[in-house]
Structure 1
Amino acid sequence: MKYRKLGSSDLEVSAISLGTWLTTAGGIEKDIAIACVNRAFDLGINFIDTANVYGRGASESVLGEALKDRPRDSYVLATKVYFPMSVEDSGLSREQIAKQIDASLGRLRTDHVDLYQCHRYDENTPLEETMEALTRVVQQGKARYIGFSEWSPQNIRDALAMVPEMEKFVSSQPQYSLLWRRPEKEVIPLCAENGISQIVWSPLAQGMLTGKYSADAPPPADSRAASDEMGGFMDRLMRPEVIAAVDRMKPLAQEAGCTMAQFALAWVLREPNIASAIVGASRPEQLDDNAAAAELAIAPALFEQAEAIATAIPRPQN
């Protein structure tokens, strides 16, 4: 496993990290979820990302159980706040951040997280109030650093303008893959200029870039697309033209001497501003393939061919 510095922080995170929306939020049996966490450590993965809303606290609770006997300095732990935990509890107000960090720490069985992230931007709370609350969390020692997910360039600039009076963000968590390159236009350059690293979610495009799907057959029974609980975001991807494009990428991965999933993860990690690519797992052995991507050196020309294939995919009509 290779490790990368997270923005302007002193955190060193594994290039491949374990996400828990799929793994510990209730989508798989708890003993298998804990086995996935243990396997991640065996592979050198030291960075684990969760959120209070995953399973309405279930993900953090299972993760707390999985981590309870491990030295706290042996892993980097991140969670998030914003989405509704109840009818009354949501957003990034001063009250909510103070309440939700304590609830998360209780479920995680720890006195601090290494990274506390705004899961989205809160249009209903003044940014200054949010930044004051996050700064307070760091001052109290409940989080070492702060980050955000899916903020606009202007949101990011507004927060940076409050430094040094407020705590500075060290991470951004956008969706990013061969099939979704939107952050390249503004977010990645802006963050790179300001000591903010990317922690990428869905680098395998909800599993589409593993190459497991076929236009001529139903999704594999154990796949995300076949799951009522986990497959809700697959409609945009489960199109014949997308599946055909991934099929055209497979020979490129073969030429590189790796699996399609490894190829897609290595493509994400080619970008210097990416600190880590988040992967999920429903079985421990899935992590073996993904973790190996951190060590790959693939010819840029193969990546360029894959990019050309992805760029040529027709957009959905609706």
Structure 2
Amino acid sequence: MERIELAPGYSISRIIKGGWHLAGGHGNIDPDQAVRDMAGFVEAGITTFDCADIYTGVEELIGRFRVQFPELAKEVQIHTKFVPDYSILKTITPEDVESTIDRSLKRLRVEQLDLVQFYWWDPDGIPGYLETAEVLHQLKRSGKIRHIGLTNFNTRQTKLIVERGVPILTNQVQYSPIDTRPEKELIPFCLQHDIQQLCYGTLAGGFFSSEWLEAEEPIQAFSNRSLTKYKLVIDDIGGWQHFQKILKALSEISKKHDASLAQTALAWTLGQAGVAAVIVGATSNRHLEENLQVFDLNLDAEDHGMLANLIQLSNPLEGDCFDLERDKNGRHGSIMKYNENSNES
């Protein structure tokens, strides 16, 4: 497993175990098996876990893992998120911020949070995110937080946070051959300020799989939230037939390198400038061995050129990173859940 140093004395695995899939909406989860699976990931070298205060029950599951596997827990880096509910953004106080951080510390059973990734539902419509970022900085100084990251802020918003003097280590962003919005402005800005990208959506919720190659366009309701989310992206970039061309290219590249289609998609994102790691969500360790082998795959110039040509033919997604998803009334924003900390929809 490749590792990367994000800061002096702080390194992570370049594949991060995602936690969203354990929070519901992706089938039934056996908590005991989920904890055992965490141990398997760490033993295989995937020592970095991604979670969030709004991923129902996931911080607690990681806390259980830490208790049941104390020796393995010493090797783990936990990246959680601070996501204040939409309903409290106008009235949030420094005390609210600290109490939420304290709750994550308690759930995870740690004395310091390795990385807190900050998200704000409406930076342009509801002020307060800059002041809230400064509160997180204060909690870093007090020792409750080791590092601060961002999640799904666009370039302009990220710049404003950086200009406030808040030390940003990472940015979590959606990035794959069907969503290259980070390349427009965000990654160039982050490269100038030593902010590393932690990328999700790299497998498009499972669409980057041979299962979907030459398949009929799905019209029925999907079995999980991820497929629903990424089908909207596929529709926007040119529809199912254009996506099939991208899948075919990934398939040809994977056969050339004796790899799987999913491995090829992961390798593409891992090879992009500024990308430190990819977040791979899983409800089990079924694909663990396959994911580990991605570092044996080296895409060449011909491979990158083939994909670049198809990406150039895609309809560009509107705006900067996550701009589409921030529209509560739009196709992307309407499927979001905005008040998960209070269990409101």
Aligned ranges 1:45-60 → 2 under 5 Å: 45-55=46-56, 58-60=57-59
CA distance in 2, matches of 1:207, 1:65: 28
- Residue in structure 2 matched with residue 159 of structure 1 by the alignment: 161
Structure 2 residue runs of 5 or longer lacking an equivalent are 318-330, 332-345
Aligned ranges 1:70-149 → 2 under 5 Å: 70-71=70-71, 72-84=73-85, 93-120=93-120, 122-123=122-123, 124-149=126-151
Alpha carbons 2:25, 2:224 under 8 Å: kept = no
TM-score by length of 2: 0.80
CA distance in 1, matches of 2:254, 2:230: 23
- Residue in structure 2 matched with residue 232 of structure 1 by the alignment: 228
CA distance in 1, matches of 2:62, 2:227: 22
Alpha carbons 2:245, 2:310 under 8 Å: kept = no
Letter in 2 for 1:158: L
Alpha carbons 1:173, 1:199 under 8 Å: kept = yes
CA distance 1:97–1:291, shift in 2 (3 Å) = farther
Alpha carbons 1:23, 1:36 under 8 Å: kept = no
CA distance in 2, matches of 1:177, 1:104: 30
Alpha carbons 2:25, 2:225 under 8 Å: kept = no
- Cα RMSD over matched residues? 2.8
Moved more, 187-196 or 67-76: 67-76
Structure 1 residue runs of 5 or longer lacking an equivalent are 220-224
Alpha carbons 1:93, 1:125 under 8 Å: kept = no
Alpha carbons 2:130, 2:160 under 8 Å: kept = no
How far did 1:97 drift? 1.6
Letter in 2 for 1:147: G
Letter in 2 for 1:75: V
| SS, match of residue 153 in structure 2 | coil
- Residue in structure 2 matched with residue 288 of structure 1 by the alignment: 289
Letter in 2 for 1:151: F
How far did 1:32 drift? 3.1
CA distance 1:315–1:158, shift in 2 (3 Å) = closer
| SS, match of residue 51 in structure 1 | coil
CA distance in 2, matches of 1:272, 1:39: 30
TM-score by length of 1: 0.86
Letter in 2 for 1:5: E
Aligned ranges 1:201-240 → 2 under 5 Å: 201-214=200-213, 216=215, 226-228=222-224, 230-236=226-232, 237=234, 239-240=239-240
- Residue in structure 2 matched with residue 13 of structure 1 by the alignment: 12
Letter in 1 for 2:133: M
Aligned ranges 1:170-185 → 2 under 5 Å: 170-185=169-184
How far did 1:233 drift? 1.1
How far did 1:264 drift? 0.6
How far did 1:160 drift? 1.6
Alpha carbons 1:201, 1:277 under 8 Å: kept = yes
- The size of the alignment, in residue pairs, is 307
Which whole-Å deviations, capped at 9, do the CAs of 1:227-286 have from their partners, x for residues lacking one? 245543143237532234313420111102211111111111112411110001122121
CA distance 1:11–1:24, shift in 2 (3 Å) = farther
Alpha carbons 1:77, 1:114 under 8 Å: kept = yes
- Residue in structure 1 matched with residue 260 of structure 2 by the alignment: 259
CA distance in 1, matches of 2:186, 2:48: 22
Whether 2:171 is the aligned partner of 1:169: answer: no
Select 1:150's aligned residue among 149, 152, 155: 152
Alpha carbons 2:213, 2:247 under 8 Å: kept = no
Letter in 2 for 1:148: L
CA distance 1:106–1:199, shift in 2 (3 Å) = same
Alpha carbons 2:3, 2:14 under 8 Å: kept = yes
